[in-house]
């Protein structure tokens, strides 16, 4: 069986769309692997599946062709090196696990679409997207008493987040999420940014000491808990 050019275009374009949907969500949250990475992973997996299914027709014993599952298995296992590159450990905090998982599942989506299993690939894309978009809201609703949102207005400079993280570790605070917000007009003129942290505080937490240490960091203009007045 020979795959038509039209069918190949459909599968590759559909896989790029699926990877782009997941990648845009990661990009919007300033994750280490964003739109381009997810599109490339999904496209590559789709192409490998197409190649394994149709690229070796007539080349195996008795013209039976290759084994489609062999190359697909290599994609599933080999994609781990990309995921490992997105996982970061800083003090007591580990970030990037969700992005690593999204890269892996995009590889699986690409294999499904490359195989022609459109329904499964698109349905998985929708479920992944809804899971990623809805997880933050769900966590806030279920664990709103466990986490606090810290907003820091500061001037961007090298090493700033590292200095802030050092204070977090010193106070036994676990960082659950970090978002950097750039106001293009303000940032271009003054270099100021807003960094939003979602934190899990220890049982013994001294609010005054923590803010006194945060506010003396070079570049930090002000810091406050979400919904509270400036500290």
Four-residue CA torsion sign, 21, 25, 27, 33: negative
Flag whether 230 is in a domain: no
Inter-residue contact 2 to 65 (CB < 8 Å): no
Which tens digit of pLDDT belongs to each residue from 124-148? 888 888 877 766 666 556 555 567 8
Question: Quick one: CA torsion of 105, 102, 47, 64, rounded to 10 degrees?
Answer: -20
Residue 175 belongs to domain with CATH number:
3.30.70.260
Inter-residue contact 193 to 154 (CB < 8 Å): yes
Least confident of 11-20, 33-42, 101-110, 201-210: 33-42
Same domain, residue pair 101 and 158: no
Inter-residue contact 23 to 35 (CB < 8 Å): yes
- Give residue 58's domain range: 5-141
Flag whether 192 is in a domain: yes
Looking at per-residue pLDDT, the higher value among 96 and 32 belongs to 96
Looking at per-residue pLDDT, the higher value among 129 and 80 belongs to 129
Listed in sequence order, the residues at least 6 apart from 104 whose beta carbon sits closer than 8 Å to its beta carbon are 76, 79, 80, 83
In this structure, the number of other CB atoms found within 10 A of the CB of residue 66 comes to 16
- Say whether pTM exceeds 0.85: no
Q: Using alpha carbons, list the distances in angstroms from residue 126 to 24, 41, 122, 132, 180.
A: 13, 17, 6, 10, 26
Nearest alpha carbon to residue 45 among 126, 109, 141, 119:
109
Query: Half-sphere exposure of 193 toward its Cβ, with a 13 Å CA cutoff?
Result: 15
Question: Per-residue confidence at 216, pLDDT binned at 50, 70, 90?
Answer: very high
Domain end marker among 107, 141, 175: 141
Domain end marker among 141, 172, 192: 141
Flag whether 33 is in a domain: yes
Same domain, residue pair 110 and 182: no
Flag whether 103 is in a domain: yes
Which tens digit of pLDDT belongs to each residue from 61-74? 444 555 666 777 77
Flag whether 128 is in a domain: yes
Flag whether 177 is in a domain: yes
What's the number of domains the chain is made of?
2
Same domain, residue pair 189 and 136: no
């Amino acid at each position: 069986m020979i795959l038509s050019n039209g069918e190949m275009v459909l599968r590759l374009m559909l896989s790029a769309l699926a990877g782009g949907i997941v990648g845009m969500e990661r990009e919007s949250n300033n994750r280490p692997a964003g739109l381009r990475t997810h599109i490339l992973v999904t496209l590559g997996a789709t192409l490998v599946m197409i190649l394994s299914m149709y690229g070796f027709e007539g080349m195996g014993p008795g013209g039976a062709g290759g084994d489609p599952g062999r190359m697909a298995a290599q994609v599933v296992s080999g994609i781990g090196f990309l995921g490992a590159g997105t996982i970061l450990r800083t003090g007591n905090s580990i970030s990037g696990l969700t992005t690593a998982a999204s890269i892996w599942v995009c590889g699986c989506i690409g294999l499904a679409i490359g195989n022609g299993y459109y329904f499964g690939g698109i349905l998985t894309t929708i479920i992944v997207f809804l899971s990623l978009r809805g997880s933050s809201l769900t966590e806030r609703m279920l664990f709103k008493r466990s986490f606090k949102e810290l907003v820091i207005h500061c001037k961007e400079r090298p090493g700033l987040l590292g200095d802030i993280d050092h204070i977090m570790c010193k106070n036994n605070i676990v960082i659950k999420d970090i978002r950097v917000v750039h106001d293009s007009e303000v940032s271009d003129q003054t270099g100021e940014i807003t960094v939003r942290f979602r934190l899990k505080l220890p049982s013994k937490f001294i609010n005054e000491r923590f803010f006194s240490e945060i506010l003396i960091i070079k570049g930090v203009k002000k810091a406050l808990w979400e919904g509270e007045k400036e500290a």
